[in-house]
Structure 1
Amino acid sequence: MPDADRPQELPTRLLTDPEMIDACQVRDFARVFRLVKTRAGIYPSMIARRCELTPSRVGEVIAGQRQLQHMDVIERIADGLRIPGHMLGLARRAWETPQALAVTEREVPQVPEPEQKPPASLPGPDVDSILALATRTSFSTATLEGFRSSIEDYWRRDDQHGGEALRPAIVGQLRYVVGILKENRPPTIQNGLYGIAAELARLTGWTYFDARQYNQARAYFTEALQLAKEIDDRQFMANVLACMSLQATYQDKPADSLALVTAAQDQSRSALDTTSRVLSMLSMREAFAHATLGNRNATHRAIGEAHRHFEQIQSSDPDPSWVTYFDEPKLIVDTGIAHGRLGEAATAEPLIADALRREDRTNQRGRAFHAFWLARTQLDQGKLDQACHTATQALEPASAVTSERVSGHLREFYEQLAPHRQEPAALAFEARLRELLPSVSGSLHP
C-alpha cells in the first residue's frame, strides 16, 4: 500500500513503556486503548477504523464494559495499531520489519575469518507469504496426519522440557492452519483442519497455563472452543472446558472450576461418540473441583464415577488421541491428589507413590509435579525425613523442565516445611535445591 495509507508506527517510547508492556501481556485492551490515545494521539474513532471495530465497541472496551478475547480481533488490533506480535503473545506479524541485528553488528567493524563465508540472510515475511500462496495446492489425509504427528511431538516435548521454548512454533503453525481455513476445500479435509487448529489452540493455551499466564491461556482455550464448535466436536469442547476447569482450581476459583467441568460433562454426554476414557477423565476433573471446594462426599462420589467409567474401557474404543494420556497410573495419581486436596493424606500417599513407580520416566514435569504432591502428603502426616527425601528426588526432573506450575508446587512444599527448616533433613533438601534450581531458590522466602 502507499506510504500515506500505511498505519503509522506507535512511538518507541510507548512500546517500551512498562505500563504498555504489562497491558499487552495480559491483553488489557482498555488500558492499551487509553495509552494509545494519550501517548500516541490515536483517538477511539481512529482505533475503531484501524482495527475494523465499531466505535461503540471500542468505547465499551475503554469503559471496562467489554473484553476482547477472540484471536481474530486481537490480531486485527496488533495489525491496526502496529503492536509487535510478541507483545500480545502472537506470532511475528507480516508487517514487522526484520530485526536490525546485521546493522548493529556493522556498527562495530569486525574482520571475518578468511575461511568463513557470511551466513545467507533469511527471506523476509513477505517472501514467506508469497511462497505459501504458491505452494497451497492440495491437502490430503496424509497432510492432516502430518499435522497430527507434529502435535503429538509437541506434547511429548512439552512433557519433557516444558512449553516455553515450543510456543512460538506452535503459535506459528496455528496461525498457518487458521489462514488456510479461509480457502475452500473438501468437507473432510476442511473439518480435519478445523480439528487440528483447535488442538493447536488448546496446546498453546496449555503452555500459557503451565507458565501461570492465565489471561493468555484463557484466550487460547476460548479460541479452541470456537474452532471445535465449528465442526461440532463436542468431545473436544469437553476436553477444553476440562482444561479451563483445572486452571480455575489454580486461580483459586473453585466455583468456576465446578461450573466449567459440569459444562464439559454436558458436552460429552450430548456427543454420540464419547468414550469411557473421556468420561473417566472428566469425572476426575469434577473430583478436583469438589475437593477444592471442600465437598468431601461429592469428591468421593466423583472419584467413584471416574473409576467406574475407567473399568468400562475397551481396547476397541475409538479414543481421541488427546485423551490417551489418561492411563491407569494417571487415574491412580489423580485419585491420590484429589484425596490430598481434601486433607486425606494417609489415603493419598500410597496411591501417589504407586503411580509414581509406574509413571513414564520421560515425563519430567509429571514426575516432578506428582513427587512434590507425594512429599506434601508425607509431611502432612509428620514424616519429615521421608518427605524431604521425596522432595529431593523431585528436584532433578523439576530442573529439567521449564514449568511455573512445578515451581509453584515446589514453593508450596518449601513454605510447608517452614516449622522444620533447621532439621537436618530439611537443611539437606534446601542445599540440594539451591544447587539444582538456583533461580527458584533465590525467590523463596527464608
Structure 2
Amino acid sequence: MNRRAFVTSATTAAAAAAVPMLATRPGVGAADVHRLQEAVVALTALDEQRGGHETIENAALAGARHALDLQQGTTTSERIRRRLFSVAADYTALAAWSCIDTRAKDRAQGHLDRAMTLAGLAQDSIQQFRIWQFMSMLAQQRGQLTDALAAAQASRNTGAARRDPLVSSLAHARTALAHSQLGDCRAALRSIDYAQETLDRARDVARPVWINFYDRAELDGLSGVALMRISRGEQAEYHLHHCLSALRSDQHRNRALYTAYVAVVQLDQGDAEQACATATAAASMPTAAVGRTAHVLKSFTAALDARAPGSRASRQWAEYTRTA
C-alpha cells in the first residue's frame, strides 16, 4: 500500500470514529454539547497530524448536521441552543479548513458561508474571527488579494480580537500575509511588528482548542512566509528555522509545510543544492503528498526548472520526485 493510500484509509477510520451520534430526545443539555465539542477536538487533532482530507471534511459536516438536528423537536434553553449553533459552526469551519488545505476552493467557500451564518446565530465572536481568517486564506488562493486583506482586517475588528491579545496577534499576522501578497513591504513589516507586540501581551486563558496551533513558533512561520514574499530572504529563513525548531512534535502538517517554504527561500537566495536537500526532507514527511505542502513543492519544482535548468540539483530533484 502506498503512502497516500495508507494515509487515506487511516484517516477515514479515525474520522469516522471521532463524531458521536447522540440520540434525539425531548431535552438536550450541556452534556450533549460537551460530547459534540470533544468530537471537534478529536477531528482537529486529526487534521493537525494528517492535513486536509475529504474524510475529515465529511465527518465534520456530519457533526454539524447532528448538532443542528438535536435542536429539532426538543426542549432546550436559549443558552444551549446558541451553544449548539456554535458547535455546528465549529464543525462547518473545520470542514471548510480541510477544503482550504486541499485547495478545494468552491466547496470551501460554500462551507464558510454556512459557517458564518451559524456563528452569527450563535452570537459567537471567536468563531466569526476564525471564519474571517479562513476567508482571507481562501481569497489568497483565488488570487483575490484585496479581498484577502479586507477579510484579514475584518478578523482584526471582531470582539474576540479586541478582547484577547493572542487572537489579535493572529489577526495581525494574517494581515501581514495579505499585505505581502499585494507587495506592500512597509505595511507587511508593520503588521509583523504588531503581531509580535500583541503576542507578548497574551496571557494563558481558556480558548477554543482549534486556536492552540498559534504560538510563537507559528508566528515565526507566518512571518517567514510574509518576509519571503517581500524578498527578505535571510530574515525569512531565520524566522522559518525558528518556527521549525519550536513546533510541537504532533504538528506534522505544519512541519512539512514550513520545511517546504525553507526550500523555496533557499532557492530564491540562489542555493539550489541546499534547497533541493531541504525540499527532499519536506517531501519525505508523511503529510507532504496532500494539501498545501504538495502545492508549495509543486511551485518549488517550477521555480527550480526556471532558475537552474539542467543543473545537477535539478536532475536529482526530478529523479527523486519520479521515484518517491
Per-residue deviation at 1:406? 2.0
Structure 1: distance between partners of 2:182 and 2:31: 46
Partners of 1:275 and 1:318 within 8 A in 2 = no
Is 1:264 aligned to 2:155, yes or no? yes
Change in Cα spacing, 1:260 to 1:229, as seen in structure 2 (3 Å) is same
Is 1:156 aligned to 2:41, yes or no? no
Change in Cα spacing, 1:392 to 1:300, as seen in structure 2 (3 Å) is same
What's 2:97 paired with?
Answer: 206
Structure 2: distance between partners of 1:385 and 1:402: 22
Q: Choose the corresponding residue for 2:283, options 387, 390, 395.
A: 395
What's 2:247 paired with?
Answer: 359
Is 1:177 aligned to 2:64, yes or no? no
Deviations 1:232-255 (A, max 9, x none): 212221211111001111211110
Is 1:192 aligned to 2:83, yes or no? yes
Q: Which amino acid aligns with 2:44?
A: W
What's 2:28 paired with?
Answer: 139
Unaligned runs of 5+ in 2: 1-20
Per-residue deviation at 1:270? 8.1
Q: How does 1:3-402 map to 2 (within 5 A)?
A: 135-162=24-51, 163-182=53-72, 183-268=74-159, 274-315=163-204, 317-397=205-285, 399-400=286-287
Q: Which amino acid aligns with 1:160?
A: Q
Partners of 1:375 and 1:388 within 8 A in 2 = yes
Q: Secondary structure at the match of 2:274?
A: helix
Bigger drift between 299-308 and 356-365 goes to 356-365
Structure 2: distance between partners of 1:407 and 1:393: 13
Is 1:412 aligned to 2:286, yes or no? no
Structure 2: distance between partners of 1:307 and 1:149: 31
Unaligned runs of 5+ in 1: 1-130, 437-446
Change in Cα spacing, 1:349 to 1:370, as seen in structure 2 (3 Å) is same
Partners of 1:160 and 1:401 within 8 A in 2 = no
Q: CA RMSD in A?
A: 2.0
Structure 1: distance between partners of 2:309 and 2:25: 62
Structure 1: distance between partners of 2:22 and 2:50: 31
Structure 2: distance between partners of 1:142 and 1:403: 36
Structure 1: distance between partners of 2:197 and 2:207: 17
Q: Which amino acid aligns with 2:133?
A: A
Q: TM (normalized to structure 2)?
A: 0.87
Structure 2: distance between partners of 1:400 and 1:307: 29
Aligned pair count reads 301
Q: Secondary structure at the match of 2:76?
A: coil
Per-residue deviation at 1:220? 0.7
What's 2:312 paired with?
Answer: 424
Identify, as 1 or 2, the structure richer in helix.
2
Q: Secondary structure at the match of 1:324?
A: helix
Structure 2: distance between partners of 1:176 and 1:318: 26
Q: TM (normalized to structure 1)?
A: 0.64
Structure 2: distance between partners of 1:265 and 1:326: 15
Per-residue deviation at 1:371? 1.0
Per-residue deviation at 1:357? 2.0
Partners of 2:133 and 2:174 within 8 A in 1 = yes
